[in-house]
Amino acid sequence: MKKTLLLAVFFLTAMSSSALASGFAIIEQSVSGLGNAFAGGAASSEDASMMYFNPAIMTEIKGQQVVGGFHVIVPSAEVGVSSAVTLGGPLVQGTNNIDGGQTGVAPNLYYLNNPGNGFGFGLGINAPFGLATKYDKNWLGRYHAVESDVKTININPSVAYKVNDQLSLGAGINLMYMEATLSSMVNGGLAAFSASGGTVGTPNDPSDDIFVENEADDWGYGFNLGILYKLSDSTQIGLAYRSEVKQELEGSTKTDVPSTLSILGSAFAGAFGDQGVNGDIDLPATASLSFNQKVGGKLTLMADVLWTDWSSFEKLTLNFEGAGIGGNPSTTTVENWNDSWRYSAGATYQYSDALKLRCGVAFDETPIPDAAHRTPRIPGEDRFWVAVGAGYQPTKRFNIDIAYAHLFVDDSKIDLSLAANPSAGSLTATSENAVDIASVQLSYNF
């Protein structure tokens, strides 16, 4: 049943992955919203895609509407390693200055029905979280990360009720599928050298490295709430909350032991065998406060503040359901992330009856506390957004939105100590980061 539902959803919207997000959250849930850098999202009744930010807005959009869009996210994360040392002191050898950023697509699909009786009903399919970084198997940081790929699909039915002319309330349920792939190289040469008393294996030799790939998935559940309040015909305030979603991931670990180490026999190979794996992760709660103000007949100004509970992401532990990897029954990465804040401001100008112009800026904090907790899997830093967009309505029923944003991302420092990472070694590096986003959205009113 789970796989059948997943397959059906896949035909509606491809799973997405991103990189250099705030942590690994994806805010790209609306193309019209991107044009304003997502300022004022919880107070905007622009179109049905805004139900992601606040389900209460469904009382403000009359009739039925379908909105479909996608965002092409092009990140750059060129990691330059200045030092990489493993247990015992040898310097790691390999390639350097690798761009781990992977282009991803974040699709969104929404349906809204407002029959005009004070209620609004909607369904959103989107991807609130995603991550994609990938490096060569022989790069200098390979013992910390090769590929990191997190994909989500969120199915979000919701309902809204108009209490009176000023106040609307909304609520929704979130059914979220998560699939994660995390891989790295293990220093097989060092393990073989130690196991054989120095007769087999060369520490840090890429040809002796063991490739380890963990794949796991799960369904999790949560809810979201929203309030929309009209101070006047020209002023709206929105408040929204999305709950934490707990994921209990289960899957498998696959390994590739090089033939150069086969001389050590089955006992050594068994220490790096295929097996089951599991791990828990809490996807964070969010809360936002938005403000929209119409100025005259054509200009709307908006602002937004978003809080994300990243402090719930304390560590990432993978538990092996067999002999473990190299004798280790589990592996733990200490995260200790901080709660993060995002601030945005934007404007929409009704240039003509058919054409809207949009712009916006935003500042997005990284939840990663310092270089000692930043890894090549997520080399993010603080980001400054600049966004522009436009909406064109050729007929009363049909609308096209486009948007573009460039994210100026601070260079990020990685300083992982040997003491905190005995199996992977120390890593000192700098990542030069940037992100471009281009999006298009189609809307149809019944």
- One digit per residue, the tens of pLDDT, for the chain of length 446 reads 344 333 333 333 344 455 555 678 999 999 999 999 999 999 999 999 999 999 999 999 999 999 999 999 999 999 999 999 988 667 888 899 999 988 989 999 999 999 999 999 999 999 999 989 999 999 999 999 999 999 999 999 999 999 999 999 999 999 999 999 999 999 988 888 888 888 888 888 888 999 999 999 999 999 999 999 999 999 999 999 999 999 999 999 999 999 888 888 888 888 899 999 999 999 999 999 999 999 988 999 999 999 999 999 888 889 999 888 888 899 888 888 999 999 999 999 999 999 999 999 999 999 999 999 999 999 889 999 999 999 999 999 999 999 999 999 999 999 999 888 888 899 999 999 999 999 999 999 99
Buried b (16+ CB within 10 A) or exposed e, 144-158: bbbbbbbbbbbbbeb
Q: Which two tokens stand for residue 207?
A: 């040809």
Q: What is the pLDDT of residue 61?
A: 94
Q: What is the pLDDT of residue 12?
A: 39
**Cβ proximity of 122 and 109 under 8 Å:** no
Largest Cα separation within the chain, whole Å, is 81
Query: What 3-state class would DSSP assign to 62?
Result: coil
Q: What is the pLDDT of residue 18?
A: 55
pTM, entire model = 0.91
Q: What is the pLDDT of residue 200?
A: 84
Q: What is the pLDDT of residue 89?
A: 66
Query: What 3-state class would DSSP assign to 33?
Result: helix
**Cβ proximity of 47 and 55 under 8 Å:** no
Give the integer Cα–Cα distance in Å for 217 and 279.
10
Buried b (16+ CB within 10 A) or exposed e, 14-51: bbbbbbbbbbbbbbbbbbbbbbbbbbbbbbbbbbbbbb
By CB atoms closer than 10 A (0-12, 13-18, 19+), residue 66 is middle
Give the integer Cα–Cα distance in Å for 40 and 300.
10
Buried b (16+ CB within 10 A) or exposed e, 276-297: ebbbebebbbbebebbbbbeee
Give the integer Cα–Cα distance in Å for 14 and 274.
29
Give the integer Cα–Cα distance in Å for 378 and 182.
12
**Quick one: which of 23, 44, 16 has its CA closest to 307?**
23
Q: What is the pLDDT of residue 421?
A: 85
Query: What 3-state class would DSSP assign to 339?
Result: coil
Q: What is the pLDDT of residue 91?
A: 80
Measured CA to CA in angstroms, residue 338 lies from 22, 288, 417 at distances of 11, 17, 20
CATH of domain 2-445: 2.40.160.60
For residue 173, the tally of other CB atoms under 10 A from its CB is: 14
Q: Which two tokens stand for residue 384?
A: 């400054």
Give the integer Cα–Cα distance in Å for 275 and 214.
10
Structural domain boundaries of the chain? 2-445
Name every residue whose Cβ is closer than 8 Å to that of residue 245 and which is 6 or more positions away in sequence.
174, 176, 220, 221, 222, 282, 283
Q: What is the pLDDT of residue 178?
A: 96
Write a three-state SS string for 303-315. Answer: EEEEEECHHHCCE
Q: What is the pLDDT of residue 270?
A: 85
Chain centre to alpha carbon of residue 50: 19
Q: Which two tokens stand for residue 215?
A: 């794949």
Name every residue whose Cβ is closer than 8 Å to that of residue 405 and which is 6 or more positions away in sequence.
34, 37, 385, 386, 387, 388, 435, 436, 437
For residue 405, the tally of other CB atoms under 10 A from its CB is: 24
Give alpha helix (H) positions in 111-210: 188-195
Question: To which residue do tokens 């049909």 refer?
Answer: 398
**Quick one: which of 143, 134, 10 has its CA closest to 75?**
134
Terminal CA-to-CA distance of the chain, rounded, Å? 32
**Quick one: which of 128, 14, 25 has its CA closest to 378?**
25
